[in-house]
Amino acid sequence: MSLYADSPYPINEEIVALHNQELQSIAETGTWLTGEERTAIAQHARFARIKAKLQEASESVNAPDSDSLSSALRHLISKVAIAPKSIDLDFFRKSLASGISDEEYVETIGIVSRVVNLDIFSRGLGIPMRTLPKPNGGKPQQSRPASAIDEGAWVATIPNDTRNDPLGRQMYGGGPQPFIYRALSLAPKEAKRVILGGNAQYLPLDKFMDFTYSHHPALTRSQLEIVAGRVSVLNQCFY
């Protein structure tokens, strides 16, 4: 059965395939966190948004186990899920001071932002949040990318120049990529998911600098950028 079989509207098959993969990826072992931890992060994010009345309650979302994640990590999850526009450098520094590593910080932000994306999509269709799969076993590699450097952001990132970096070439391809696609590269699996999400929901990465191309037949590229810019303003996106 299709992931969105209960949708009152037809959904592009590329989006259906992406969202299936997104749900599965959340339950899989990450770069720094286990499948159990990653699933718990998604559950905490969902429950926080329900408590804040940003998302309708669902039978598939119960109060998460408060002991499965540290209080500092739960605070980070809630902040990203409910009020991301209030996150600043001081909050980031306090998160690290509370015992969260910069790598865990990056991976957590990736998980929360992706599950919120899925849940808002379902909410827009008027259907319940999709059920998270059970987490798989396995241990995360927890290997910091050797090519990650300080590019002026809060965390280190893998830069555009991938000539001597197989991981960077695998993630970005050959051409220069916008920083927003590099922002989570301390957790390469999350960075890859961001790129895949952008490819389907925005436009393919290799078409980013082609301003005549639109991945959505109903909109020109200019119209697409107007929508994206307006939504960013409404969300007070400081990027």
Q: How many CB atoms lie within 10 A of CB 86?
A: 9
Q: For residue range 134-153, what is the model confidence (pLDDT) as tens digits? A: 998 889 989 999 889 999 99
| Tokens 């605070």 belong to residue | 75
Query: Confidence class of residue 238 from pLDDT cuts 50, 70 and 90?
Result: low
**Amino acid in the structure at residue 36:** E
At residue 220, φ and ψ (nearest 5 deg) are -80, 165
Among 223, 152, 162, 222, which residue's Cα sits nearest to residue 188?
Answer: 162
The confidence score (pLDDT) of residue 217 equals 85
Global confidence as pTM: 0.92
Collapsed DSSP state (helix, strand, coil) of residue 149: strand
Residue 239, pLDDT > 70, answer no
Could you tell me which residue, 215 or 175, shows the higher pLDDT? 215
